[in-house]
Structure 1
Amino acid sequence: MSQTTTQQAEAATTAALAPEQMDVLDQLMKPEIQESLTVLVANLPKLAEMTTILTKTYDLVQTVANDQVLIQDLKGGMEEFVKPIQDKAKGIAQAAIEANDRSHVESSTIGLFGMLKMLKDPQVQKTLRFAQAFLEVLAEREQQKR
């Protein structure tokens, strides 16, 4: 009789459970789920430590992201770093545009003597030295790869 009462109580409990709860219970009965739970329980200390580290990292990121003074300082620092590069790039671009315009206006032919005269120009010499050094560096790197 007590067994019948216990079975009736279990049946009543099972009937009283919502369908979502039944799904959870069905899932818990699967062997692979039970194995996964065993692994999780075994690794709880590591998971707790990782959670603590992630929480601290999250708090730090939130603090940094909401610190307007730090953001403005970083922005100012980046602008100080980028501005000279930006100005130099603009200067080079403007010089290239101006040189292109001049080359389209100028229609005279540059002969051998004109080229010899150009070789004396300090800017041409500087450019040639740079080109020579650049090619030497490329050759050295090519030799190192072999």
Structure 2
Amino acid sequence: MSETSKQAVLDNRGAEVQPVVREQLDVLDQLMKPEVQESLTVLVENLPKLAEMVTLLTKTYDIVQNVVTDKVLIEDIKGGVEEFVKPIGEKAKGLAAAAIEANDRTQVEASTVGLFGILKMLKDPQVQKTLRFAQAFLEVVGEKNQQR
């Protein structure tokens, strides 16, 4: 904590007028500096703009404060986010379960896939869909690389 020391102020005859807190003198000394006076002039000239900005910030603060404290709105937003995220999470869980099951099957079955096995797999609609996707993806990546 700062200590407030008192200093005597002398009038033009050298007589002590009254004790003044040192911080008050420091402020007066600061106000006498030309750069501080210029800054104050700029502030005074821009007071209408500053007042407008403060008003806008105050309104924004009030709105945010109302939104943050509104339990019903928070629950509605939470419910909306859950409705959006829940299907994505379920789909991700389904894909993860399928990947785990596929991994388990490959661990159990150690047979090799030959040329005729690959030709048989090419008739599978899921394999065709995956190959079309892979082909389209590679075309898009190739186009993007050519544009650079």
* Cα gap change, 1:20 to 1:141, in 2 (>3 Å): same
The equivalences for 1:86-97 within 5 A come to 86-97=89-100
More helix by share: 1
Which protein has greater RCO, CA pairs closer than 8 Å, 6+ apart? 2
Cα distance, 1:83 vs. partner?
Answer: 0.6
TM-score normalised per structure 2: 0.87
User: How many Å separate the matches in 2 of 1:131 and 1:99?
Assistant: 20
**Alignment size in residue pairs:** 139
User: How many Å separate the matches in 1 of 2:16 and 2:38?
Assistant: 27
Query: Does the 8 A contact of 2:11 with 2:17 survive in 1?
Result: no
Query: Does the 8 A contact of 2:31 with 2:37 survive in 1?
Result: yes
Report the equivalent of 1:109.
112
More strand by share: 2
Report the equivalent of 1:22.
25
User: How many Å separate the matches in 2 of 1:104 and 1:98?
Assistant: 10
Show structure 1 runs of 5+ residues with no match: none
* Cα gap change, 1:11 to 1:52, in 2 (>3 Å): farther
User: How many Å separate the matches in 2 of 1:42 and 1:10?
Assistant: 40
Tell me the C-alpha RMSD between the 2 structures.
Answer: 1.9
Structure 1 ranges of 4+ moved more than 3 A: 8-11
The equivalences for 1:16-55 within 5 A come to 16-55=19-58
Cα distance, 1:9 vs. partner?
Answer: 9.1
User: How many Å separate the matches in 2 of 1:28 and 1:21?
Assistant: 11
Show structure 2 runs of 5+ residues with no match: 1-9
TM-score normalised per structure 1: 0.88
Which amino acid in 2 is paired with 1:127? Answer: T
